[in-house]
Structure 1
């Protein structure tokens, strides 16, 4: 009994520890003070109005959203066949099984520090003449989000019994039809989870974006970083609050669509 209570206290302490920064940010975004202060002095929506009516803030917000959506979509298209091959087939090179090696290679952006990838991507794009372009930003984000989609799909595909696909083919379905009508729906949880992680990771990324952003193409996190170094008003907290609302909104929408069991299946 005592141990159960200690567990509950520990969980509540962890909740508070995680939520305190968010509470401070949200509270400060409504303050009437011209400076970032907590507890907030009064209540106002002027900081949200200032942000939402600012063309520069809205451009950065939309740019980050488009980059995240495009990167997520391409990552899904690239990862689907790769994950299927790595999960269900023996990948060989010169007679040797290289499946584990390829998995490690594909997942390297998760292991290697992002700043290393940021520098490498910037130099590569400069060489290719794509630095400072929208395509360059998408490529940079694509490299860092593919591992999340790939990993989620591999786990989902590995959980599908081979007998299910074999039964579909035995009943007359082509391999392509089997994949889209049988395999892919069964891997839905991994697909959605990977896509969600990819979108959020791209949308909020700073480490790689800071090497790729240029005037006129500034993603929202870099816009926030630059604003923080010049100003100290609660506008930044208002942007952060919008960030929080969007992230929770996406999560809750997926949670309600998939349910608890599917959401955390991977």
Structure 2
């Protein structure tokens, strides 16, 4: 392994460890504060689980264990596809919940999981992936991410998902245009804040995926840029950090965390009966010192 390639793998390990720590911290917060009972938070948790899968699979040193190379790239392919689909599902959730004002039931949640997982699993199997999968994980100037994004499957899925997101955004924009200026109600402000928060998750997913999109196109046309190896791998490995940053910026999350830690704070209080007991013991203490 060349020095430059070692530096790239070291960057991958460092960013992945940061992402894993952030993802685990997010799940712990949701478990402690009971935030997992909120539907939108559960969607974020599903995305976080995908980030954890991405981080764990990127830590495999396939430059040593080359027999693990096909497994690494297939799982990475699955995780990347599911993240892109979740980006579109977040906007669909915002459109359905806020614009159409439909109730998000368990049936919808199961459908979301099926939409995110089943296509990602199918498209990561051998019939749907390039033949060069698993041949050059860290060989020469290659990375596991390079082969995954340099495929027509990734490029087509990203394009279709982006068009779907654009359609949801137009629907949301048209809905908010119905509110006339000067008549913005409290309902309007609350809905707008929710839309902005949910939209940020989709935005960060598609911005990082857009870097991979450009990276894949350049590799496919033979315009490989070594600097893009570092940029693309760093952005994809840090997906957990981006997720928890948006998660902690939510006022609902901040309020829940504040309430939880306040309830856990131990306040030392002296009760009236404790004061009486202490007073009754005082003469005995003085008699012990009289000698």
With the length of structure 1 as denominator, give the TM-score of the two structures: 0.29
TM-score scaled by structure 2? 0.27
